Amino acid sequence: MVLILNIILLVLFVVGAVWTMMTTRLLHSAVGLAFTSAVLTVLMFQLDSPLAAVFELSVCAGLVSAIFISTIMLTKRVTAEELIVQRKIRLASFWFLPIVVVAAAIVLSLIHIPVDFKLPEPPVENNVKNIMWNLRHLDLMGQIAILLTGVFGVVTLFKESKHD
């Protein structure tokens, strides 16, 4: 029973990704991205890693989609006839994406590579909070540095400098 649910979710995941790429309107593609992210969250719950799932939902589905939608708003609105032109171009270059995906799906499902390495023994520490906060301080420091870089990035790139 659980297996069928997983399969449906995976299919939804792949279809969501393909749809995000295929839609001509940029806004729809941003929404598609949010949808794919939501499906991924559910998948993560299936793979019993709830914390990461919640994080994914709130950050990716929420924040990133918000960023994309705001950038799309900032850029030029696309008029109706431009839309038709864009649709034609999109179809010209993207029409065979689904075919590629379906073909890859068939191929991957046929070749069945056995897992030929022996899996490691079970972990000694499996609590996410403990790992992140006690064992991997270097990663935390890295994340702080990246966030600071992000801050300075925003300051330099977005701030309207005086002269222009």
Partner 1 sequence: MLSLFVLLPFLAIVMLNLPLKTVTRQLALWFGIALSAGQVFVVIFQPDVFWNGTDLLGRFFTLRLQADNLSMVMLLSIGIVTFAAILVGRQTIADSRLRFNFMNLVLLSLIGMNGTVLLTDLFSLYIFIEVVAISSFILIAFQRDLNALEGAFKYIILSAVATVLMLLSVSVLLMAAGDTSFSSVAAAVKNSSSSHFVRFAIGIFICGLFIKGGLVPFHGWLPAAYSMAPAAVSVLLAGIVTKVSGIYALIRLSTSVFGPDSSLNAVLMIAGAVSIVIGALAATGQSDFKRMLAYSSISQVGYIILALGCGTKLALVGAVFHLFNHSIFKSLLFVNSAAVEQQTGTSDMDKMGGLGSRMPYTNATSLIAFLSTAGVPPLAGFWSKLIIVIALWQSGYYIYAFIAILSSIITLGYLLSMQRRVFFGILSDKLQAVREAGFGIVFPACVLAAITVGVGLSFPFIFNSFIIPIGAFLK
Partner 2 sequence: MTNDMAVVLWLFGVAAALVLIVGFYCLIATVNLIRALIGLEILTKAVTLFIILAGYVTGRTGLAQALAITLIIIEVVVVVVAVGVVLCVFSHNKSVDVRMIRNVKG
In this structure, the number of other CB atoms found within 10 A of the CB of residue 26 comes to 15
Q: How many residues does the chain have?
A: 164
Q: Find the binding residues for partner 2 in span 37-66 (CB under 8 A).
A: 37, 40, 43-44, 47-49, 51-52, 55-56, 59-60, 63-64
Measure the CA–CA gap between 164 and 157, rounded to whole angstroms: 13
User: Is residue 134 part of the contact set for partner 2 (CB under 8 A)?
Assistant: no
Q: Tokens 């295929």 sit at which residue? A: 22
* Among partner 1, partner 2, none, residue 62 binds (CB under 5-8 Å by kind): none
* Angle, CA 157 vertex, CA 145 and CA 147 arms, to 5°: 15
Q: Find the binding residues for partner 1 in span 123-162 (CB under 8 A).
A: 123, 134-139, 141-146, 148-150, 152-153, 155-157, 161
Compare residues 79 and 93 and give the one whose CB is closer to partner 2. Answer: 93
* Among partner 2, partner 1, none, residue 145 binds (CB under 5-8 Å by kind): partner 1
Q: Which of 83, 85, 91, 108 binds partner 2 (CB under 8 A)?
A: 108
Q: Which of 48, 73, 121, 126 binds partner 1 (CB under 8 A)?
A: 121
Instruction: Give residue 77's identity as a one-letter amino acid code.
Output: R
User: Is residue 113 part of the contact set for partner 1 (CB under 8 A)?
Assistant: yes
In this structure, the number of other CB atoms found within 10 A of the CB of residue 120 comes to 6
Q: Which of 118, 126, 127, 129 binds partner 1 (CB under 8 A)?
A: 118
Instruction: Give residue 66's identity as a one-letter amino acid code.
Output: A
Q: Which of 4, 93, 162, 163 binds partner 2 (CB under 8 A)?
A: 93
Q: Using a CB cutoff of 8 Å and minimum separation of 24, what contacts does 105-108 make?
A: 105/14
Measure the CA–CA gap between 4 and 20, rounded to whole angstroms: 24
Q: Which of 10, 73, 81, 88 binds partner 2 (CB under 8 A)?
A: 10
